């Protein structure tokens, strides 16, 4: 199984899925991490400028295909927040999303997920309404 985690620094989980610089991809066998790779986020959103705000005159519909390509082979994505459209794209591709309440080192978070001790957030979407 492969688990994807958004990151900006190659170590910690990014606060927002679409804004991350890259994805850490963890290979898991028998409940243990057996490998790790870094894949660049091919579609780095700039939500802070309102590019995904549907009420913004600059808004143009976009595809999440490049993010899905970066997460190719992943069965699970663990993140601290994502937009609804990204969540829908992942779901349509059969990728489970686990939105967590805590941040920290990605490997520690994946290990917590594998042990069943991770606490998913009640709502997984960020407040940028895209």
In a domain, 127, yes or no: no
- pTM, rounded to two decimals: 0.80
Question: What contacts 1, CB < 8 A, 6 or more positions away?
Answer: 27, 28, 29, 75, 76
* Chain segment 38-69, per-residue pLDDT in tens: 999 876 555 444 444 444 444 445 567 788 88
**Residue 10: domain span:** 2-115
Count structural domains, the chain. 1
In a domain, 124, yes or no: no
In a domain, 108, yes or no: yes
User: Quick one: CA torsion of 49, 53, 57, 61, rounded to 10 degrees?
Assistant: 110
In a domain, 77, yes or no: yes
* Chain segment 86-111, per-residue pLDDT in tens: 888 899 999 999 998 878 899 999 99
């Amino acid at each position: 199984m492969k688990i994807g985690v958004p990151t900006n620094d190659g170590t910690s989980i990014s606060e927002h899925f679409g804004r991350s610089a890259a994805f850490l991809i963890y290979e898991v066998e028998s409940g243990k991490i057996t490998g790790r790779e870094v894949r660049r986020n091919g579609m780095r959103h700039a939500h802070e400028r309102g590019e995904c705000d549907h009420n913004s005159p600059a808004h143009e519909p976009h595809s999440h295909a490049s993010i899905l390509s970066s997460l190719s082979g992943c069965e699970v994505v663990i993140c601290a927040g994502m937009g609804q459209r990204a969540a829908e794209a992942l779901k349509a591709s059969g990728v489970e999303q686990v939105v967590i309440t805590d941040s920290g080192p990605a490997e520690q978070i994946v290990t917590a997920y594998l042990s069943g001790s991770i606490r998913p957030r009640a709502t997984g979407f960020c407040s940028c309404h895209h």
